[in-house]
Structure 1
Amino acid sequence: MNKLKTSGGLIAFRRKILGFKFKKLAAPVLYALGRNPKVYSLLLLQVFAGGAALYFMRPQAAPVEVLNDINGDLVTLYRVVQNHLEEFVRQFKWAISSRQVFEWQKMTRPETLTDIQRAARFFYLQHHAFAGKVSGQSFGTATTAPAINLLRIEENLSAAWQRLSGTYVENLSWLDCAERYDRAHTFHYMDPPYWQTAGYGVDFHLRTTSAWRFAALQGKVMVSINDHPDIRRVFEGFHFETIDIRYSTSNQRQGKAEVSGELVVMNWEPAALGGLF
């Protein structure tokens, strides 16, 4: 097991792996898989897409990309942005960032809405909820940054729409999706909800995350999750990297960020690609 020491922390680590090493067919990972890059392409699969921050951070798309999340509202949002961007943006005409509007949106039953209205409701709640939680939400504010600029939604989402074009968007369980798209040229990036944390919709059940399930996958797997003895026990035998990262979602009034350990689990040895950095 290694401990990564980098000024960029986890984001720099993820960007290095997902943003650069896998950006072209001639990437080192293809040679590490023993495939001819002129014949085989790389499939990048994220079975816990969530906000897909790393997907949107990539400077260049992978040849084939799949976003998956079990949260139906999230997948609806992605599909609406793909296919009905202009009507989606129209939902926010004259909208404001308001605690009362936030509470009204929370009380609205999503099953009574159209897909576009449902996507707009989800978008509004997520952009105004403290810590981006999807359950047990409370209105989030900050004293050092302004509220989301709802007038720029079209500008921001137009870029997202262009990025999503050509991407497969799934609404499956993580295991079903992983098995469906698993090939020797697949890179599985998994960023599940943290173990023993609440407020992010669907828990990550370790009982369904046995090591043999990962060992059975043909492609390369990378899992980033909080460093916990239970996690280490489940993934015993796999390669570990650890990173110290800072979080600031607990108590903003203290003005301090908590330092926590992030565990990166792989079913392959980084040395096979010439190291992570």
Structure 2
Amino acid sequence: MSQQQKLFDESNYVKAKPVLKWAGGKTQMLDILKENMPTKFNKYIEPFIGGGALFFELAPTNAIIADSNPELINLYKIIAENVDELIEELKEMKNEEGYFYLIRAINPETLTDVSRAARTLYLNRTCFNGLYRVNKQGKFNVPFGKYKNPKICDEENLRSVSKVLKNTTIIHSDYKDVLREYAEPGDFIFLDPPYIPISQNSDFKRYTKEQFYEEDQRELAEEVKRLKDIGCHVLLTNSNHPLVHELYKEFEISVHQTKRNINSVASKRKGEDVLVKVEQ
């Protein structure tokens, strides 16, 4: 069976793109990821879904996506279940600085699920560099992006994304709980966790109020070993940090040049991502 046959039912397949701009998103690594993924697998599981670049590229018909970020998961559930209402709300939202800060200041827990999803997508499309960052109280704190004409409502893509997500199990949970409950032999697990910071100023990827510390990285490495032992295929990305090489030294590791769009200094927008490949 070919990779394409394994990944999608072509009669129902609609090409979808990520709906979010995502710092550290994997769009620029898609070719590398696809070259290294298994050609056959059972379920696709991505428990740090973020912007979901690989997930939307593959559009697998049997998939589980998850994240610990409640706003992100609510957005994906609403796109799957109620995309029409979401589109109507997004069409009413304005790319104006004062309006942006009013929307940002709203406690999302006071909103309906649809309005909460619209707020998340609106802030992502209009804030600086599409960052999703919260403070220690869990409040979104990225400033207005001052873009002339950001695409707040990409109706065509939202409908395509909705069709893909309807086939998907979407879970708000810690990655360990998801993998312990759902990972089985023959599954393909893609892990794109919060990266180990290379510098003191690189903690821009905090997108839940809980941070991902060194001990969390070590626990993740142990989980990768467990997944291998039960017969899963695993790809993992992280920064090119000595700890990553130490934690995954028993597996195939490759280093890839990538661009970082966050730094205001163009010469510092280059980075290196590590890809860890766990084969059966």
* TM-score, length basis structure 1: 0.77
Shift of 1:103: 0.9
Match of 1:12 among 31, 38, 56: 31
**Could you tell me which amino acid in structure 2 is paired with residue 161 of structure 1?**
S
Match of 1:216 among 212, 226, 234: 226
Cα 1:199–1:98 shift into 2, 3 Å = farther
After alignment, is 220-229 or 85-94 more displaced? Answer: 85-94
Q: Do the aligned residues in 2 keep the contact of 1:248 with 1:257 (CA within 8 Å)? A: no
Q: What amino acid does structure 2 have at the position aligned with 1:44?
A: Y
Residues 61 and 167 in structure 2, CA contact (< 8 A), matched pair in contact too: no
C-alpha deviation, 1:153, in angstroms: 3.0
Output the CA distance in 2 between the equivalents of 1:138 and 1:200.
Answer: 15
Distance 1:65 1:191, change over 3 A: same
- The whole-number CA distance in structure 1 between the counterparts of 2:168 and 2:262 is 31
Match of 2:206?
A: 200
- Greater radius of gyration (CA): 1
- Partners of 1:105 and 1:12 lie apart in 2 by 37
Q: Indicate the residue corresponding to 1:37 in structure 2.
A: none
**Conserved? CA contact 1:188–1:220, under 8 Å:** yes
**Aligned residues with identical type, % of pairs:** 22
SS in 2 for 1:162: helix
- Give the whole-Å Cα distance in 1 for the aligned partners of 2:51 and 2:75: 10
- Inter-partner Cα distance in structure 1 for 2:69 and 2:234: 22
SS at match of 1:92: helix
SS in 2 for 1:216: helix
Q: Which residue of 2 aligns with 1:5?
A: none
CA RMSD of superposed structures (Å)? 2.2
The two structures have a TM-score, normalised by structure 2, of 0.76
> Counterpart of 1:137 in structure 2: which amino acid?
V
The answer as to whether partners of 2:254 and 2:275 remain within 8 angstroms in 1 is yes
Q: Structure 1 residue aligned with 2:71, among 66, 70, 73? A: 73
Q: What is the one-letter code of the residue matched to 2:132?
A: K
Say whether the 8 Å CA contact 1:221–1:266 is kept in structure 2.
Answer: yes
CA shift at 1:231, angstroms? 2.0
Q: 2:51 aligned with 1:51, yes or no?
A: yes
Give, as a single letter, the amino acid of the residue that structure 1 aligns with 2:143: S
Corresponding position: 1:235 with 2:248: yes
Equivalence for 1:171: 172
Q: For residue 241 of structure 1, what is the amino acid of its counterpart?
A: S
Q: Which amino acid aligns with 2:249?
A: E
Structure 1 residues 155 and 62: alpha-carbon distance in aligned structure 2, compared to 1, 3 A threshold: closer
Structure 2: gaps of 5 or more residues: 1-26, 135-140, 198-202
Does residue 129 (structure 1) correspond to residue 127 (structure 2)? The answer is: yes
Instruction: After superposition, give the CA deviation of every residue in 1:126-162 in whole Å (9 maximum; x if it has no partner).
Output: 11222322323112245xxx53234x53222111111
SS in 2 for 1:119: helix
Q: In structure 1, what is the equivalent of residue 150 of structure 2? A: 148
Query: Which 5+ residue runs of structure 1 have no aligned equivalent?
Result: 1-7, 31-41, 273-277
How many residues matched? 235
Query: 1:13-66: CA deviations, max 9, x gaps?
Result: 124345xxx5xxxx3x45xxxxxxxxxxx11110100111221222xx334111
Question: Alpha-carbon deviation of 1:10?
Answer: 2.3
